[in-house]
Amino acid sequence: MKGKKNLITLLDYSDAQVAALIDCADQLKKQKGKLRADLKGKTVALVFQKPSNRTRVSFSVGVHQLGGHSLYLGPDEISLGKRESTYDVAKTLSRYVQCIVARVFHHSDMVELAEHADVPVINALCDLHHPCQALADIQTIRGQFGKWKGLTLAYVGDGNNVFHSLMIACAKVGMNVRFAGPPGHDPDPEILKVARTIARKNGVAIECVRNPQAAVKGAQIIYSDVWVSMGQEQETARRTKDFKGYQINADLLKDAAKNYIFMHCLPAHRGLEVTADVIDGKHSVIFDQAENRLHAQKAVLLYLLKSGH
């Protein structure tokens, strides 16, 4: 497909494009699931190497609401690079479908898939990025505060794929970010460097500290993620020890802004990275985030597929 567009990382999108996607997502949200015909006659393949709840369901429902058809291909159907080469999978699926949504273990697989596919590819999660989650997150934040400018997001935990995409998104829309995590669990230095460049251009900062109290102080958004991600189960004991002291709880949140919101991309482990009273409390917006995955991803699908593709 000549000149095809993808969503592999938000670094490939301008600040204005990111904001436009959220504007579109907000408009779609107001339509309350009204059936449209934008993707009529189009099929979207969901190629998942990892299990999923929100990502699979939100994409399937979103494609349906836009008038298209989704086809789920789980780990048993397609094993990228194992049963069949990523190149062959990309070329074959491109003959059948109009878009590929992929959830993979390795970023290199995502890049290879996008390079060889003749249809748009959407990154539904890899080890370095989770752009769809980040779009839903900044949509949620603006929905709560009516703005992005002047806000500070404190992320306490692992400098993982979720944080990478989140700090890029925040930098692009003009939000300050503070990261607090233990040694050995910092964000990727190259991604951090690029995100900081974007943040400086927009007059905001991305800070990395060890002390969670310092990160949370005065912040309007408090964000946490699991300490043990899929594929890291054998590291559970070590990681639980490493992250001791980085739990989001009522004591830590005493120094947050009075009107703070708590965010988590789910699934969550209550009693580990966050206490139940926080994640289930009045400041929690976790299910708004989950819902907004649907709207943000529909906006991405429209951007990639509606304009002549």
The catalytic residue among 56, 130, 164, 295 is 130
Which residues pair with residue 103 across a beta bridge? Answer: 48
* 225 carries an active-site annotation: yes
Tens digit of each residue's pLDDT (9 = 90 or more) over 179-209: 999 999 999 999 999 999 999 999 999 999 9
Tens digit of each residue's pLDDT (9 = 90 or more) over 93-112: 999 999 999 999 999 999 99
pLDDT at 308 over 90: no
* 31 carries an active-site annotation: no
* 103 carries an active-site annotation: yes
Instruction: Please tell me the distance from the alpha carbon of residue 54 to that of residue 292, in angstroms, as a whole number.
Output: 10
pLDDT band at 51 (very low <50, low <70, confident <90, very high): confident
* 24 carries an active-site annotation: no
Percentage of the chain exceeding pLDDT 90: 89
pLDDT at 147 over 50: yes
Give 48's contacts (C-beta < 8 A, 6+ positions apart): 55, 56, 72, 73, 74, 75, 102, 103, 124
pLDDT at 267 over 90: yes
Q: So what's the pLDDT on residue 307? A: 56
Name the one residue in this structure whose structure tokens are 């000549």. Answer: 2
Could you tell me the pTM of the whole model? 0.96
Do the Cβ atoms of 264 and 227 come closer than 8 Å?
no
Task: Spell out the domains of the chain, with CATH numbers in brackets.
Answer: 10-129+292-305 (3.40.50.1370), 133-289 (3.40.50.1370)
The catalytic residue among 133, 139, 144, 220 is 133
The catalytic residue among 99, 126, 132, 265 is 265
pLDDT at 257 over 80: yes
Instruction: Please tell me the distance from the alpha carbon of residue 281 to that of residue 308, in angstroms, as a whole number.
Output: 45
How confident is the model over 272-295, as a mean pLDDT?
A: 98
The catalytic residue among 103, 178, 239, 295 is 103
How confident is the model over 132-153, as a mean pLDDT?
A: 98
Tens digit of each residue's pLDDT (9 = 90 or more) over 70-98: 999 998 887 777 778 999 999 999 999 99
With residue 266 as reference, give the H or E element that holds it.
Answer: none
The catalytic residue among 126, 142, 225, 295 is 225
For the chain, the C-alpha Rg in angstroms (whole number) is 19
